Amino acid sequence: MAAKHRTLSLAKRGFDFEIFMWLFTRLSALAMYLCALIGLVGALIMGARTQVNPADLIRWTFMPNSNHVLMNTTLNNIANSDAWASLFWKFMGSTFIAFAVSHGLHGLLSVIEDYLRNRMVRRILRIVGLVLTLTMIAIGIYVLWTA
């Protein structure tokens, strides 16, 4: 049986905050795939194929922080350690953190809200979630730039 497509245009559906966050979750996921891909390709360009072991390459791909490659004592053969800690990777990591924290904490909030009946508690939790998101982004970026 050929099911008829029941897709509504965005104008008919309305565009409220929930729809925005639904879309944001998808788009931030795509952005994180892109960040990870740039990290992986960049690491290979910087010589990861011969200088970095696979486990560290994966750690770097999840977050382009130079400590993820340079702190490992078995890897003293990194030739261009400055390149791994460059400004480009700091900004790339900050972008990654911002997307990851907002995507993750919004996800956490929507899982919790599915099990909460009290509207007041949900409203308070949203504010707590927003504050927590901003705090964690700030802490993450601080760690990335100072470590």
Partner 1 sequence: MGLKRNVSLKDALRYQGNGPMLTYILHRIGGLGIVTFVGMHILASFVGGDIGSSINLIYEHWAFQIVIFFCALFHVINGLRIVILDLWPKLIEHQREAIWIEWAVFLPIYGMAALVIVRTALGG
Structure tokens at 24: 């944001």
Check residue 143 for interaction with partner 1 (CB under 8 A): yes
Nearest distance from residue 108's CB to partner 1, in Å?
A: 5
Residues numbered 32-71 forming contacts with partner 1, rule: CB under 8 A: 33, 62
Structure tokens at 90: 């700091």
# binding residues, partner 1 (CB under 8 A): 24
Check residue 30 for interaction with partner 1 (CB under 8 A): yes
Check residue 121 for interaction with partner 1 (CB under 8 A): no
Closest CA to 60 of 83, 77, 79: 83
Based on CB atoms, which residue is closest to partner 1, 111 or 127?
A: 111
Q: How far is 66 from 96, CA to CA, in rounded Å?
A: 14
* In 27-113, beta strands by DSSP E: none
Among 49, 104, 131, 145, contact with partner 1 (rule: CB under 8 A): 104
* 96 class by beta-carbon count within 10 Å (0-12 exposed, 13-18 middle, 19+ buried): buried
Residues 6+ apart with CB under 8 A from 61: 36, 39, 40, 43
Among 45, 108, 121, 128, contact with partner 1 (rule: CB under 8 A): 108
Using CB under 8 A, list all residues that contact partner 1.
Answer: 3, 5, 7, 26, 29-30, 33, 62, 100-101, 104-105, 107-108, 111, 116-117, 119, 136, 139-140, 142-143, 147
